[in-house]
Amino acid sequence: MNTGDLSHAEVLPYTPAVAARTADVFERMKRVVPAIEWPIHAPEIDAIRSLKEKRNAIVLAHNYQTPEIFHGVADIVGDSLALARRATETDADVIVLAGVHFMAETAKLVNPEKIVLIPDDDAGCSLASSITGADVRLLRETYPGVPVVTYVNTSAEVKAEADICCTSGNAVKVVESLGVPRVIFIPDAYLANYVARQTDVEIIAWHGRCEVHERFTGAEIEAYRKDFPGLAVIAHPECPPDVLDVADYVGSTAAMADFVRDRKPQRVLMVTECSMSDNVAAQAPDVEFVRPCNLCPHMKRITLTKIRRALETLEPRVELDPATAERARVAVERMLAVA
């Protein structure tokens, strides 16, 4: 079943009982979700809470999910590394991955016996689609003996051809853990460039790019600085080099959130997917957020209604070829051991 089209889905009623049961959630997110929208979200959140209990299920949500998902129904939130690590610790029978398909595959890799659901099977990723297993095999032929480090933003097929995975948060550490003079780093060219700046290891890069982060420019960021004096600029390493050059801080989505919570800048611009700013803003009421809004169309395919339908039907499930999964799992486990 593909839940991509739910135009005729049942609209759940907003009742006083629903309002009472979800009041705690609205209190957490009222700074970023308008009150006029709450009667739409609350019934879905209430139903998902009930279904999670019934199914012994948890929801893992990436930082780029909308606030009603991130703060409303998620049990575990974070960047790709945090979700991969925490997925290994759950005793739930069902995992719903509120993110994109490669993340759901990673959750399945480390939980082969559990049911892993992706609320929309078409939630993809420009980085994951930029490279195939055949491409990796060709790279190995071109650079014999050079180990392959793959960003976690890849399919299980690609992970199966790699030596080890990494995330933006631990990429430098993973590369240096191999103790070799050069590595093949796939698929993000900009993250590869960032890693090359941080290490003496030679980086052989692929040409993939994130369609969200590649749209930012250094000139755009400088313009924000002129309009907003005292602005702290923090950027994700998937951004182009000219953006990183003008940023005050560069880090993974988890590190960016920590920066805001720990340093509490008066005014901040987070150069990443714009729902991230909404989710951090809900927890940082004293910080003013300037929002250059580039949305990930794939992340936004995940909605409360699709999460509810996934829990009702236990579909779409993530299924992996056992042989491919076994090899890909090794690359993920090596990453977690380093992390």
Residue listed under structure tokens 């480090």: 149
pLDDT value at residue 339 = 65
Q: Is residue 328 part of a domain?
A: no
Alpha helices (H) along the chain: 16-21, 23-29, 38-55, 67-70, 80-87, 101-110, 133-142, 156-159, 171-177, 189-198, 218-227, 241-246, 253-263, 275-281, 304-313, 322-338
Q: Which helix (H) or strand (E) holds 182?
A: strand 182-186
Q: Are residues 59 and 34 in the same domain?
A: yes
pLDDT value of residue 1 = 38
Sheet holding 288-290, edge to edge: 249-250, 232-235, 267-271, 288-290
Is position 39 within any domain?
Answer: yes
70 lies in some domain:
yes
Separation between Cα atoms, residue 250 and residue 166, nearest integer Å: 17
Tally of structural domains, the chain = 3
Neighbours of 321 (CB within 10 A): 12
Report yes or no: 237 and 255 within 8 Å, Cβ to Cβ. Answer: no
189 and 223 together in one domain: no
- The residues pairing with 205 across neighbouring beta strands, listed in sequence order, are 185
pLDDT of residue 3: 43
**CATH number reported for the structural domain that contains residue 62 in this entry:** 3.40.50.10800
Do both 237 and 286 map to the same domain? Answer: yes
Rg (CA), the chain: 20
Predicted TM-score (pTM) of the model is: 0.89
pLDDT at 32: 83
Domain boundary, last residue among 205, 235, 258: 205
- 264: tokens are 């509490």
- Report the amino acid identity of residue 163: D
CB-count burial class (<10 Å; 0-12, 13-18, 19+) for 21: middle
Q: In 3-state terms, what secondary structure has residue 207?
A: coil
- Asked if residue 256 and residue 176 are part of one domain, the reply reads no
Tell me: do 145 and 80 sit in the same domain. no
* CA 173, 177, 180, 184 torsion-angle sign: negative
**DSSP structural state of residue 318:** P
Helix, strand, coil % (nearest 5) of the chain?
45, 15, 40
pLDDT truncated to tens, each residue of the chain (339 aa)? Answer: 344 445 446 789 999 999 999 999 999 888 888 899 999 999 999 999 999 999 999 999 999 999 999 999 999 998 877 887 888 888 999 999 999 999 999 999 999 999 999 999 999 999 999 999 999 999 999 999 999 999 999 999 999 999 999 999 899 999 999 999 999 999 999 999 999 999 999 999 999 999 999 999 999 999 999 999 999 999 999 999 999 999 999 999 889 999 999 999 999 999 998 888 888 988 888 999 998 778 899 999 999 999 999 999 999 999 999 999 999 999 999 998 986
304 domain-assigned: yes
pLDDT number for residue 4? 44
Please identify, among 175, 205, 235, the residue that sits at the C-terminal boundary of a domain. 205
Q: Is residue 50 part of a domain?
A: yes
Is residue 253 located within the same domain as residue 176? no
Sign of CA dihedral 37, 40, 44, 47: positive
| Max Cα-Cα span within the chain | 66
Is residue 335 included in any domain, yes or no?
no
In this structure, the answer to whether residues 286 and 306 fall within a common structural domain is: no
What pLDDT is stored for residue 5 in this prediction?
47
Cα–Cα distance measured from residue 78 to residue 66, given in angstroms and rounded to the nearest whole number: 13
Domain that holds residue 229: 213-290
Distance CA 201, CA 204 (A): 10
> What's the rounded Cα separation, in Å, for the pair 100 and 214?
18
